[in-house]
Structure 1
Amino acid sequence: MRIVFAGTPEFAVPPLAALVRSHHEIIGVLTQPDRPAGRGRNLSMSAVKEFALENSLPLAQPQTLRTTEGRAALETWRPDVLVVVAYGLILPPEALAIPKHGCLNIHASLLPRWRGAAPVQRAILEGDDETGVTIMQMDAGLDTGPILLQRALPIGDTDDSVSVLDKLAALGAPALLEVLSSIDSGSVLARAQPSEGATYAKKIEKSEARIDWKRSASKIDRQIRAFRPWPIAETTHRGEQVRVHRARVVGDAAITPHPPGSILGLKDDLLLVACGEAVLGIAELQRAGRRSMTAREFANGLRSTEESFE
């Protein structure tokens, strides 16, 4: 089939690579315009653009698909199928109507749970035991289209957003090819999403990264894992910002006699911190403007035995 691919971040690259290796013809790639990034705010191309250029794929970067001008490349290509993976731009009805067999989306959750922008982060925050990928037929709603295929993935106790997204990208690529084969053969089966169990994964705000030590250690642990690589969970120590990169729950769920945020010492290379419930062991953290450091390195810089995170 003649396919146009629309995607932007690293998560979208494995499915695109799988399509390139397949017998399907990739007639075009849509990705977001280059954006300022880093401290220098220099223009940076998306991961999908890098891959498209490396593989000599036709490329377009419209600012929007809401206008006739923005849809010009898609109109010219006239694909059999448009595959959308974390593209980041809204597809209006005019765009959805262009491909012969419609638009397919790889969504990083088991729909209807976690429709929206941040399904992986919300799944980890809520303590979900599993997530997965859904290949769906796109409609005018927000992740509400018919389900064509789903593949489940367990979320481990040490998984963070980076590891889960990597696994889901690898899971989604063969699932996409399976759906395309069923469309090719005319055997594709679609089922409407159930109304029960629908939840919305709203966009992550930077303010959510602030650690509240009065919460349980398990909730803070999930917060740290959900917010890697952005916005990264943070606290303060002596008024200075400290980012927490890696940690785990230590001990049982007993309420400690120490005030939440109290630094209890170092054990097994973990910086122990009292929480509202149980204890969190921090393995890696970072002071503002400095390199990441181990718990032992941080502990060596403490001035007294009675210190705490605010």
Structure 2
Amino acid sequence: MNIVFMGTPEFAAVSLQALADSGHRVVAAFTQPDKPVGRKKVLTAPPVKQLAQQLGIPVYQPASVKKAETIELLASLQPDLIAVVAYGKILPQQVIGLPPLGCINVHGSLLPKYRGAAPIQWSVINGEKTTGVTTMYMDAGLDTGDMIYTDTVEIGGDETSGQLYQRLAKVGADLLLKTLTGIADGTAPRQKQDDGQSTYAPMLDKQIAELDFSLTAQQVHDHIRGLNPWPVAHTFFDGKKLKVFSSRVISGAAGTAAGQLTADGTLQVACGDGGVVALTDVLLEGSKRMSAEQFLQGHGAKCRRGLQLGRKMGE
């Protein structure tokens, strides 16, 4: 079976490695163009490109998969199947209909829940207890194709989206191998999605990063978990942006208004339901990332009961 692999981030690279390790014949890897990364904007190859080059797999990085020359290139590779894992581009019908065994997608949710670009992050933000991975036959819609296999995992109560991402990458790789075996021997099932049960997981942006302490303590905690490692939740402390990487929900009543510290010498914040969330891993603007204990060593005198978080300089 000739396989063309399409993927970009580390999540996809795990699947590509699994294909190589299991002896599948990957004739080409398509990935997004190199992009500037970090403050210094260093042009960096995506993880799939780096791995494919190590494995000796030809790499292609078209700016568009809709152009005739890209479609002609794909056709010349004569793929029996195209495996798509977090590629980051929508495939046109001419590509989807090209391989005789179909285009197979690995998606980081239990479809039809969390269709879209950020299923892992939104499952954490929304406080889901379980999620998983689905393999499906791609069609012209956004994650709407017929499902093949699913695998369910539990989400830890303090697990970040970054941690879940790493776990689901391995689950997805294993499920892809199972799917290819099923397709090859004719045992792979095919189940239509129930569109009435679908939800959408749009791409994250920085606009959702500011914490809203009028939510419940659990919702604030889930928001912090879901936005780690990017874009990272934040509030404002003494007029400066305070990034919050992790937290925990504290038992007991707050006794102060939402957004206020509940006790002297802590980073325990009252929430809208009267609950309390403790900020445990933070980075104050102009400083470095540190634990709450380290933060309080330098800023403990300002951390008084009733101090309102979320106020920018001048407010």
1:137, 1:146 within 8 Å by CA — same for their partners in 2? yes
Structure 2 alignment gaps of length 5 or more: 311-315
Aligned counterparts, 1:276-291, within 5 A: 276-277=272-273, 278-291=275-288
**How many Å separate the matches in 2 of 1:71 and 1:33?**
17
Aligned counterparts, 1:64-75, within 5 A: 64-75=64-75
Amino acid paired to 2:259: G
Runs of 4+ in 1 over 4 A off after TM superposition: none
Does 1:232 pair with 2:232?
Answer: yes
1:283, 1:295 within 8 Å by CA — same for their partners in 2? yes
Shift of the 228–159 alpha-carbon distance from structure 1 to 2, 3 Å rule, reads same
Matched with 1:202 is 202
TM score, norm. by length of structure 2:
0.93
2:255, 2:262 within 8 Å by CA — same for their partners in 1? no
Percent identity for Structure 1 against Structure 2:
37
Amino acid paired to 1:3: I
Matched with 2:49 is 49
Q: CA shift at 1:266, angstroms?
A: 6.9
Amino acid paired to 2:271: C
Does 1:257 pair with 2:261?
Answer: no
Q: CA shift at 1:308, angstroms?
A: 3.1
Secondary structure of 1:52's partner?
A: helix
Aligned counterparts, 1:70-89, within 5 A: 70-89=70-89
Matched with 2:301 is 303
Matched with 2:157 is 157
Q: CA shift at 1:88, angstroms?
A: 0.4
**How many Å separate the matches in 2 of 1:115 and 1:208?**
19
Matched with 1:187 is 187
Of stretches 34-43 and 299-308 in structure 1, the one that deviates more from structure 2 is: 299-308
Amino acid paired to 1:272: Q
Secondary structure of 1:200's partner?
A: coil
1:225, 1:246 within 8 Å by CA — same for their partners in 2? yes
Does 1:22 pair with 2:18?
Answer: no
Q: CA shift at 1:291, angstroms?
A: 1.4
Paired residue total? 306
**How many Å separate the matches in 2 of 1:25 and 1:3?**
6
Aligned counterparts, 1:43-192, within 5 A: 43-192=43-192
Q: CA shift at 1:9, angstroms?
A: 0.5
Of stretches 100-109 and 172-181 in structure 1, the one that deviates more from structure 2 is: 172-181
Of stretches 109-118 and 172-181 in structure 1, the one that deviates more from structure 2 is: 172-181
1:31, 1:87 within 8 Å by CA — same for their partners in 2? yes
Q: Please tell me the root mean square deviation across aligned C-alpha atoms, in Å.
A: 1.5
**How many Å separate the matches in 1 of 2:263 and 2:57?**
55
Amino acid paired to 1:153: V
TM score, norm. by length of structure 1:
0.95
Q: CA shift at 1:23, angstroms?
A: 2.7
2:120, 2:165 within 8 Å by CA — same for their partners in 1? yes
Structure 1 alignment gaps of length 5 or more: none
**C-alpha distance after superposition, 1:65-104 (max 9, x if no partner):** 1111233431221211100000001100011121121100
Matched with 1:294 is 291
**How many Å separate the matches in 1 of 2:45 and 2:72?**
21
Amino acid paired to 2:258: P
Secondary structure of 1:83's partner?
A: strand
2:132, 2:151 within 8 Å by CA — same for their partners in 1? yes
Q: CA shift at 1:263, angstroms?
A: 2.1
Q: CA shift at 1:188, angstroms?
A: 2.0
Q: CA shift at 1:61, angstroms?
A: 0.2
Aligned partner of 1:271 among 267, 273, 278: 267
**How many Å separate the matches in 1 of 2:257 and 2:206?**
26
2:32, 2:63 within 8 Å by CA — same for their partners in 1? yes
Secondary structure of 2:267's partner?
A: strand
